[in-house]
Structures are given as structure tokens and as C-alpha cells.
Amino acid sequence: MGLENQLVGDNVLVTSLTKLVNWGRSNSVWPCTFGLACCALEMIASTLADFDISRFGSEVFRPSPRQSDLIIVAGTLSKKMSVMVKRIYDQMADPKWVIAMGACASCGGIFQSYAVVQGVDQIIPVDVYIPGCPPRPEAVLAGLMKVQEKIRTEKLDQRPDVKSGTLR
């Protein structure tokens, strides 16, 4: 009875399309090669052998926003730079996720100043905030796992691009 029973033993796995897509997406989150300040060094450290972000499928830092799924805003975002960050985010293909790494990217940090954007969520929608100044690579990995968790629980028809009908 049912397809599952028929296929047992033939190395066939039956799942829903949502689960399959989310499984694939969550295990190949390719970040953008993009850093702003000292947080970027911790982000780089998380890719090196000691911490090894490739265990989570995110070692391929893409040099082009067209090829990346994730932008880790690592560092202080000055108002002059905000234009470029917005442009990089807009250039990324859907589906895309954003991590605000560190105190500066989350809320401006210690820079309560005329020159600094008080949190990147004023510019682009943020999925995960990582606290710390700067956060250790472990925290970066924890943030990445949070993004993966979010991707895995996503319903395909609830994505903003699907809902608005802009998905082609």
C-alpha cells in the first residue's frame, strides 16, 4: 500500500519537494565575499582550518553577488558605504539571506555618530543578528546555523518573492 512500501529496499527516498529544496539550500549557503571592518577578520577566521565553515557547506565565498545566497554584513556600516551595500544586496539573486554580524552592523555599536548607519536593518532586511564586538568565529558559525534552521523551516509558498509574484 502506498508508494513508500513499494520502493523500500530500492534505495529510493520519498520526501516533499519543500523539504528537498530546503535541504539543498540550507547545506549550500554561499556567502558574499564582503567585509567592512574588524568583524570581517573574524569572518575570515571562521573559514580557516581551525573553525572551518565548510563543515556547514558555506566555504565558497563568492566574488560576485549574483552567485551568492547570503550576505554577512561584517562591520561598521558608514552612511556613504550604505549605498554600495544596498546595491550588492539588490544584485543578489533570490532566495537570499542576511546576517548582521557584530554590534555595529546590528545597531551601530559604539559609533553613535553622524557618519554611521545605526544598524543595517535600516537598509536591508536582516534574518539573523550576531552579537559581539567582534563576535568570535564560533558565534559566526552559530549565526550561520540559525540561518540554516530558518531555511529548513521555510515554506516555499511563503517566500516574499513567491507571494508577491515576482518569482519567475
Partner 1 sequence: MELNTIVKSICEKYPGSILKETDHHGIHEITVAGQSFYEVMKTLQGDEKFGFDMLTDVVGIDRMPRSPRFDVLYLLLSSKDFTRLSVRLETDEGQQVPSVSNIWHSANWGEREMFDLLGISFSNHPDLRRILTWEEFEGHPLRKDFPLEGKDFNKPFDPTTIKDYC
Which of residues 48, 113, 159, 161 is near partner 1 by CB under 8 A?
Answer: 113
Q: In angstroms, rounded to a whole number, what is the distance separating the alpha carbons of residues 63 and 122?
A: 25
If we measure between CA atoms, which residue out of 127, 69, 68, 64 comes closest to residue 101? 127
Q: Which is nearer to partner 1, 115 or 145 (CB)?
A: 115
35: phi > 0 → left, psi -120 to 50 → alpha, else beta; which?
A: beta
Q: Let me know the angle formed at the C-alpha of 150 by 144 and 152, rounded to the nearest 5 degrees.
A: 105
- Placement of cell 564560533 in the chain: 138
Q: Any alpha helices (H) in 17-94, and if so which ranges?
A: 17-26, 38-45, 79-91
All three cell numbers of 29: 549557503
Q: Does 91 bind partner 1 (CB under 8 A)?
A: no
Return the residue of 83, 142, 145, 167 that touches partner 1, per CB under 8 A: 83
Indicate the residue among 30 and 111 with the shorter CB distance to partner 1.
111
Rounded to a whole number of angstroms, the minimum distance from the CB of residue 139 to partner 1 is 26
Pick the piece of the chain touching partner 1 (CB under 8 A) from 33-41, 61-69, 78-86, 91-99: 78-86
- Of 2, 11, 50, 80, the one binding partner 1 (CB under 8 A) is 80
Which CB, 117 or 144, lies closer to partner 1? 117
Minimum distance from residue 82 beta carbon to partner 1 (Å): 4
The reply on whether position 28 binds partner 1 by CB under 8 A is no
Stretch that binds partner 1, among 54-62, 77-85, 129-137, 139-147 (CB under 8 A): 77-85
Considering the rule CB under 8 A, would residue 90 count as an interface residue with partner 1? Answer: no
Tell me: does residue 110 bind partner 1 (CB under 8 A): no
> Cα–Cα distance between 35 and 141 in angstroms, integer?
16
What does residue 95 show for φ and ψ, rounded to 5 degrees?
-80, 145
